[in-house]
Amino acid sequence: MQEVDFNLVSQALQRAEASVSASECHGMLTAQLSVASGSGASECVRHIFDDEVDTQSILFMEALKMLEKLLTETQGSLNDVDIGFTLLLPDEEEPIEDRLSALAEWCQGFLFGLGLAGLSEENSSSDDVKEFMQDLVQIGNIDLSDSDESEQNEQDFSELVEYVRIGVLYLQEECNPVKQQPSIH
């Protein structure tokens, strides 16, 4: 599966004067797909762009087309048997501070998307989901002041990204369990 490029999404959103970053946008859309099977994706679009955005402009249309592609590819990766889901974050060549900031924005967007889908810590039936949501709040408020380019910070960052990725897949399974096909004996 071909992945949507972070820079292309970011540029399309910036040109259309979106009010959120590419990572935050992906977090919101992923939450909708994980919890509400994407039924609230159009609601997310209202929060991605300001009310004053010209919905007839070519820049808005291009951004919308990019978001549709992102939504389709994210949905495919969430349902991929090879567990190919990844967070939309800057490439590893970018400074660690930029990647940490994007991860924090992704988590904030995901939590916002969960709220739009009607899931909160209070109404979650699983203690694991509640704990994951609390962890996302912590990651979303991460202190970027100690984010130097050390090998330990790179490793910590990779572990955080993997934790969030697996947590999203777990949450999706909790909210939308895969229905087992009946077996023939």
pLDDT grade for 44, boundaries at 50, 70 and 90: confident
Q: For residue 154, what is the domain's CATH number?
A: 1.20.120.740
Per residue in 9-30, pLDDT (tens digit) is: 999 999 999 999 999 999 999 9
| CA distances in angstroms from 177 to 17, 95, 126, 171, 174, listed in the order given | 37, 37, 13, 9, 6
Residue 181 lies in a domain: no
Residue 182 lies in a domain: no
Residue-number span of the structural domain to which 92 is assigned:
6-175
Per residue in 110-167, pLDDT (tens digit) is: 999 999 888 887 877 788 989 999 999 999 998 877 667 778 888 999 999 999 999 9
Residue 180 lies in a domain: no
pLDDT grade for 182, boundaries at 50, 70 and 90: very low
Per residue in 96-105, pLDDT (tens digit) is: 999 999 999 9
Residue 42 lies in a domain: yes
Residue 61 lies in a domain: yes
For residue 20, give the nearest of 79, 107, 147 by alpha carbon.
107
Residues whose CB falls within 8 Å of the CB of residue 142, separated by 6 or more in sequence, listed in order: 100, 103, 104
What pLDDT does residue 67 have?
93
142: region left, alpha or beta (phi > 0 left; psi from -120 to 50 alpha) = beta
Residue 1 lies in a domain: no
Number of domains in the chain: 1
Residue 158 lies in a domain: yes
What pLDDT does residue 35 have?
87
